Amino acid sequence: MYAVETLNAQFGIADHVTFGVGAHGAVSAVIQHADGEAEVALQGAQVLRWTPRGQAPVIWLSPAARFSAGKSLRGGVPVCWPWFGAHPEDASKPAHGFARNLPWQVVATARLADATQISLRLLPGAAQMPFWPYAAELSLQIEVGATLRLRLLTRNTGVQPFTLTQALHTYLQVGDIAQVTVEGLAGLDYIDRVPGRGDVRCQQQGAVTVAGEVDRIYLGAPGSVSVTDLGLQRRIQVSKQGSQSYVVWNPWIEKSAKFGDMGSEGYRQMLCVETTNAWDDTVTVQPGTEAVLATAYSVAAL
């Protein structure tokens, strides 16, 4: 499916963009810049890791992550599109849509002043028509440096509008989840998605902490949030555009064990803070127009 030699000939940039097969088994691009390094799997255009210079990795990839065609690796930044979570009408369809499970094409790479950039594209085809009967072009632009920037662009290339829910489903690496707080969501309503809680609507009191399974869709969340990690003595700043919701998720012990690909105690070293269009934060894309979901991550020592 991917010819690494051809990719390096066409899109490789010495010391900045190199294609190969990673330890996890996926064909990926290693993206380098003086201020940071990342790896992007071509299946799903999935950022697998990002490490700013002088920092511990910021994007978490499960130590048990192993590539298999058609399934995203556990961790990184899975692209959930054209729906977030279970399909609204048919639970037999893949959770979080199909974009993360399909091979994307590299369209460009570039050296910028403050980052190294790679752009990838997905054209949903006949195989998706039975359950997503629309014409669209999906592209993801990734910029790697001291900041990690992701820009997911959906263009409606058909003649009928469609409505999206979507997410950049980011797994952040933390020192110990017991010493982590998320600021910037206080006072917002959230939907509690933990099974058995009935999708009850709650209000966030103060900073978010995790001492059990957390699966929340925060609504009316226009701005940025920060993740304070006492274990790694750092603060991760998350900003976004094109979204009014965030998802905060940690599977905790029991669900991690059921997944089987979280690694032992993996749940202690990760927290998903996802930039989303989820729940009632949907996006309708008219023919000939485009919608952008963008997010950026930066880190500062405490």
Give the nearest distance from C-beta 248 to ligand TA6 in angstroms. 9
5 is catalytic: no
Give the nearest distance from C-beta 158 to ligand TA6 in angstroms. 27
Give the nearest distance from C-beta 22 to ligand TA6 in angstroms. 19
CA distances from 181 to 28, 174, 231, 251, 254 (A): 32, 10, 11, 16, 22
Which residues 144-173 are close enough to bind ligand TA6 by CB under 6 A? 169
Q: Judge contact between 172 and 236, C-beta under 8 A.
A: yes
Q: In terms of C-beta density within 10 A (0-12 exposed, 13-18 middle, 19 or more buried), how is residue 292 classed?
A: middle
Exposure b/e, 51-74, CB count within 10 A at least 16 = b: bbeebebbbbbbebbebeeeebbb
Name the residue nearer to ligand TA6 (CB basis): 5 or 199: 199
Using CB under 6 A as the binding rule, whether residue 281 contacts ligand TA6 is answered as no
Name the residue nearer to ligand TA6 (CB basis): 144 or 168: 168
89 is catalytic: no
Using CB under 6 A as the binding rule, whether residue 247 contacts ligand TA6 is answered as yes
Using CB under 6 A as the binding rule, whether residue 266 contacts ligand TA6 is answered as no
Name the residue nearer to ligand TA6 (CB basis): 78 or 145: 78
Choice from 67, 218, 249, 252 touching ligand TA6 (CB under 6 A)? 249
Distance CA(194)–CA(179), nearest Å, equals 21
Neighbours of 9 (CB within 10 A): 10
Choice from 37, 39, 274, 281 touching ligand TA6 (CB under 6 A)? 274
Pair type for strands 283-285 and 290-301: unpaired
In 3D space, the residue among 118, 90, 115, 116 whose CA is nearest the CA of residue 104 turns out to be: 118
Give the nearest distance from C-beta 249 to ligand TA6 in angstroms. 4
String of contacts with ligand TA6 for each residue 213-232, x by CB under 6 A: --x-----------------
Distance CA(160)–CA(26), nearest Å, equals 35
Strand order in the sheet with 46-52: 17-21, 27-33, 36-41, 46-52
Give the nearest distance from C-beta 37 to ligand TA6 in angstroms. 24
Choice from 36, 52, 76, 85 touching ligand TA6 (CB under 6 A)? 85
Neighbours of 143 (CB within 10 A): 22
Choice from 16, 49, 87, 96 touching ligand TA6 (CB under 6 A)? 96
| Catalytic positions, written as ranges | 169, 274
Interface residues with ligand TA6 (CB under 6 A) are: 85, 95-96, 169, 193, 215, 247, 249, 272, 274
